[in-house]
Structure formats: structure tokens, C-alpha cells
Amino acid sequence: MQIRLADKAGFCAGVRRAFEIAEDAVDKPEKWYTLGSLVHNRQVVEYFKEKGIMPVESIEDIAEEGSGVILRSHGVPPEVVKQARKKGLIIKDATCPLVKRIHDLVSMLENEGYDIVIFGDINHPEVQAILGWCKYKARVVADTDEAKKIEGSKKIGFLSQTTKDEFEFLKAAEALLSKAYEVRIFNTICSATRQRQEAAVRLSQQVDLMLVIGDKNSSNTNTLFEECKNTGVKTYLIQNAAEIKDEWLKGVAVVGVTAGASTPDWIIKEVVDKMAAYKENNKQEQGVEESFARLEAEIADFIPPERGDIIKGVVVEVRDNEVMVDVGGKSEGVVPLRELTVKEVNSAREVVKVGDTIEVLVLRWDDDGTILLSKKKVDAIKALDHLEEAYRKGSLIEGTVIDVVKGGLLVDAGVVAFVPASHVEEGYVKNLDEYKGKTFTFKVIEFNRSKRRGSQVVLSRKEVMAQERERRKQEFWNSIAEGQIKKGIVKRILDYGAFVDLDGFEGLLHVSELDYKRIEHPADVLKEGDEIEVKVIAVDSEKGRVSLSRKALLKNPWEIVVEKYKPGDIIEGTVVRMAPFGVFIEVEPGVDGLCHISQMANHRVEKPEHVVKIGEKVRVKILGIDNEEKRISLSIKEALSDIDRREVEEYLAKQGGNNE
């Protein structure tokens, strides 16, 4: 005798989730109860009774305040939740995510004025809970005949209990199509239920006997039983291995085994083990074990994500306006372009590619079972976490200007943040459009995650610039010292000198330090933007002053004079100043010599201006050079006499030469 296990059998994801929630409660210190049977399986109920979790029929049956209540996988009406909260109970919601989706659907249909029709068993706890979520404004039909009796209506919303037969549901839906101007049909039958039915039917066509394991009060188990029986194969519904009768197996070559969605794996294993004892040989043992391994994999199947869950998925298709994502479930996930990124893009292909693993947030389940997802919101959550930490620590972040709005800039910092115009630069900004598309460093100056109006995040570039300026200022004062040679840029020119930018800090180059020669105005030798080399001649960090000299880097003109001239030389100079006792004559840029009034002419001079004028070029004789005192004595009179004498000597020499 061969034993074959259906590909899909036993716990569905929703039941598995409820089971794990209850197991988690076992270790909690509070006293825990389940409202009704956690799932439709007495063995599961007894299992948790032994662990101290007792079922109750109503919230009123829980006497101890502060106790915990686990809401059954079939769901409960909203008033039951309110009652539990009012009583101060701790609530663990084990409602199947697919059932919760139905609650959302009927609530939406009721709000939009639809006449709601539910395909199911009116006494089933799942249906009773669904009725509560549409304020009990719904009709329940058990089959197509009852659907045909529904009165005509303007618009009808039709959906099903999750564990019903899909073929029967669609027949009932067809019967309703002529009952209203608008009929909205939601196929809310659990995919696990459908898969178990399909797998059981396939297996039934390959065996001599089918055993369906599950509680006799379980709707999906009874549906499985009917589906198998309708194939014509001999079928028995059993709750555990003890109910198997020897006479069922006489003359049977192949036995098929399946189980309802609320049947725990250990009961299935017991049935398989008992059936193995009837085998005539051991050749099939490996096949049975492989089937059971597949069953265990199915038991650990994907739990449908709920609205608000953050899950990982793999991109399987990229279109211009949306991205298809495999999130491991039975339905496809879709990320619309608007939910892909905060950036302005023309196509989803600019953001992701097939094979990328991305994190997404579940927004809702669409009517066709598709999960609507958002990558942008997950990115925003992560970005807000990062920005909140930056705000708390005072650290800096990067962002790209994406738009200019009234009053400032919008910046992509993972979320859209706002930069007030007054915080773009340290000074007034005339044209904000110049910043669009550029990336800058910002400081978070305001952060409010729960803010609903206005920006949650406000940034400042001005404060970053101020911090950078302060940092560079400290570095400047720590490094600047007298005697240093620096390169700088002429920033401003005034009457008394020029301000030179040295690594972001300005030092003063006084007009007297521009050159050894006299400079009337700094603009005569400098212009704004010039790069020049200067020497630091004084530093006052307390007053924040740095004095500079350009002259100090030029060759001392006195050295030129000493190298170039000697007493007795007759040279040309320029009258630069007058005094009652004589005139000062510039012999080299920055070096003036004195021609005493007594040396200005061969006659008595009353005033220097009677002989020369400012700016006049004159020939002078060097009478003496005092290197220590850096003084030069000059004589116009001696220069003239020497010149006259030389001219006479030259004339006489020429005359003498002619006589020869």
C-alpha cells in the first residue's frame, strides 16, 4: 500500500500566525485567554489549555483585570475590542491578515453606501465578525439559490468568507450580476484554501482512498471533504489517527492524505505514521518522508503582510510607471512611480532594475489581491531616523536642492526638507534659482516627525558656513605667527591700505607697508582680486588683528644705494619735499637724501623754493653716505661746479688736441 500526502495540507499562514501568537503568550506573566476557539481544531485548543491558556465565550467571562485576551484567528466585531479595552485587558490580535482585509473592505463598502452580500455560513465566527465591521448591514447567503433571492439594488458589494469553495462563490456572484446597476465582487477566498482544495482534488484522482484530517466544525476542512468526495473516490473525514478503521484499508493500493488549514502538523504526522504501519513493504517510506518534508515547508509558509508592515522584496519587472515586486506571497506587490522615490523621475527604470532587493511598506490590498507598496515611505522612515539623529547630535547632512519655492529652497535629504531663504547663505541671496540641482552640506535646525503641516525638517546652510568659518578661524589663529610669509587675495581697498584674505581671515596691509617708495593711494599699485605675497609683521589675537607688509618682502633700497653709489658721484634725483633748512631729493625709490639750503646754489638762498620746486629733477653730488644712520648728504651747488669744471676741462682738452 502506497501513502501519498497532498502537496498543500495543514496549517495555513494565518493559523500558523495565530498559533505562534498564542505560544508567545504562554511565557508571559499575565493570565491569558482566547476569545472562543483560537482556531477550529479541538486538539489545538486542548494543547493551549494544557499550557494555561483557556478559551472563553465572551469578554465578561474574564474576571481578572490586567489579564490578557487573544482574539481568535476568525476575527471579532469592533465592539468586542472596545469592550476588552474598557475592561483593561491586554490584547493580542491573532486575526488572520486576510480576514482583516475583509473587515476593511466591508467597512469601506458600508461607508460608500453599498448593499453588502457575504457568501458564507451565517453562524461561522468569521462571518459574525465581518458583520460587525459593517454595522451588521449585510445579507449572508450560503449558496447560489439564496443569492438569486436577493432583491434588486442600486449597487451591491459581494465578498466571501475566506474558507468557502471558490467555484460556488463565483456561481453566486454570477447570480447577483443582474441584481444591481453596479456590482463589485471581491474574491476574498484564502489562497491557501484554494490551493489545498486544488491539491486535494488532484490527489483524489490518483488514489483509491482519501483521508481528510481536521476538526468537523472547521469550514475549510468540510469543504476539503466535499471536494474530495465529489471526485468519486471513497473519502473519510477524521480528526486524528485513532479514528482510522482497519476495514477502510482492505484492498486499497494507494491512500491519499490531506488536512484542513487549521490542522496542526503533529496530528498529520500521527496519521501518516499509523498509515505506514499498514504498508506491505518499506519501499514507500522515503516518498512519505519527502512528502512530509514538503508539508513542513508549507506549514512555515509566508505570512501575508498587513497594512503598515515593512518587508523586503525582489524586483521582478520594471515599467515606466510602476515596479512589480516579489515579496514571497501569493499575490504580486506593486510600487507605483509616485511611491518609488521623492526625486522627480520620468521612469521607474531610473531608480531600480530587475533583481534589486528593496524594502517596501504595505499600503493596502487592492480589490484584485494585489499588494500596493511604497518604497518612498520606507526610505522616508530611514531618512527621518538619520535626520533625527543628526538633529540630536548636531551633525551635518548632505542634500540636493530640488526646487525653489516662496521663502526658500526644497531639498532632497531622503525626505523633502525646507531651507528658509535667510539660511541659504550668511548674507542676502538675490537669486535662489542658482542653487537648484546643486548638492550642499546642511545642518538640521528643526525636526518634528509628527508634524502634519509644513516641513518636518528644516535645514540651514548658513549655520554650516558659520561653523566652517569658526573652525577655520580657530585654525587660523592657532597657526598664524609673526614672520610668516603668506599668499592672499586683495579683498578691499581703502584710502589707508588694503585688506588681504588669508585662508578666510582678513589682515590689514597699511599703505605705508606697500612699498619703500611713497604710495599716494593703495589703488595706485593694487586692485581687488590680485594675489600677492605678504609678510606677517604683527598678530593681536585678542583684538583679532593681523598686520601685513608687502614692503618687507622687497629688497631694501638702502642696500641698493650702498651697492650702487659712493661719495663724489653725481646723480639725478627728484625733489620730493621741502623744509626751511633745505630739500629732500629721492635718489632711489624709498631713499631720500638731504640737500642743505647752503648747498643749493653758489649764492645765498633765502628759501629752497626760490631754487627748485617739488617734482623737479635735479643733478646732485653725493657728499657723504652714513650707512649706520642711513643718511645721504647731497649738493646741488657742488654738482653744478663739478659739471662746469668738467665741461671746461673737456673743452680745453679738445682745444689742446686741435693745437696738436
Interval 618-642: pLDDT, tens: 999 999 998 888 899 999 988 888 8
| Whole-Å CA distances, 119 to 106, 139, 180, 474, 602 | 13, 9, 17, 77, 136
Task: For 38-65, write each residue's pLDDT tens digit.
Answer: 887 888 888 888 889 999 988 888 888 7
Over range 435-455, report the average pLDDT.
85
Q: What is the pLDDT of residue 660?
A: 46
Q: What is the pLDDT of residue 575?
A: 93
pLDDT band at 193 (very low <50, low <70, confident <90, very high): confident
Radius of gyration of the chain (CA): 50
User: 114-123, 272-281, 435-444, 467-476: which has the minimum mean pLDDT?
Assistant: 272-281
Over range 232-256, report the average pLDDT.
90
In percent, how much of the chain has pLDDT > 70?
Answer: 93
Active centre residues (catalytic): 126
Cell 439564496 -> residue? 146
Q: What is the pLDDT of residue 272?
A: 81
Provide the mean pLDDT of the chain.
86
Q: What is the pLDDT of residue 134?
A: 95
Q: What is the pLDDT of residue 201?
A: 92
pLDDT band at 284 (very low <50, low <70, confident <90, very high): very low
The one-letter amino acid code at 37 reads S
| Whole-Å CA distances, 213 to 223, 257, 323, 373, 399 | 12, 8, 41, 37, 60
Q: What is the pLDDT of residue 555?
A: 79
Task: For 559-587, write each residue's pLDDT tens digit.
Answer: 888 888 999 999 999 999 999 999 999 98
The one-letter amino acid code at 430 reads K
User: How many whole angstroms separate alpha carbon 548 and alpha carbon 526?
Assistant: 14
Which domains are seen in the chain, by residue range?
A: 12-93 (3.40.50.11270), 97-189 (3.40.1010.20), 207-299 (3.40.1010.20), 310-378 (2.40.50.140), 394-467 (2.40.50.140), 480-553 (2.40.50.140), 557-646 (2.40.50.140)
Give me the DSSP letters along 278-315: T-SSSTTHHHHHHHHHHHHHHHTPPPPPPTT-EEEEEE
pLDDT band at 410 (very low <50, low <70, confident <90, very high): very high
Query: How crowded is the C-beta side of 300, counted as CA atoms within 13 Å?
Result: 5
Residue 174 has pLDDT above 90, yes or no: yes
Task: For 306-349, write each residue's pLDDT tens digit.
Answer: 778 888 888 888 888 888 888 765 456 889 998 998 777 889 89
pLDDT band at 438 (very low <50, low <70, confident <90, very high): very high
Q: What is the pLDDT of residue 250?
A: 85
| φ/ψ of residue 522, rounded to 5 | -55, -30
- Greater pLDDT, 280 or 41: 41
Q: What is the pLDDT of residue 299?
A: 45
Q: What is the pLDDT of residue 384?
A: 87
Residue 595 has pLDDT above 90, yes or no: yes
User: How many whole angstroms separate alpha carbon 594 and alpha carbon 571?
Assistant: 14
In percent, how much of the chain has pLDDT > 90?
Answer: 35
Residue 283 has pLDDT above 60, yes or no: no
Give me the DSSP letters along 385-420: HHHHHHHHHT-EEEEEEEEEETTEEEEESSSEEEEE
Q: What is the pLDDT of residue 658?
A: 53
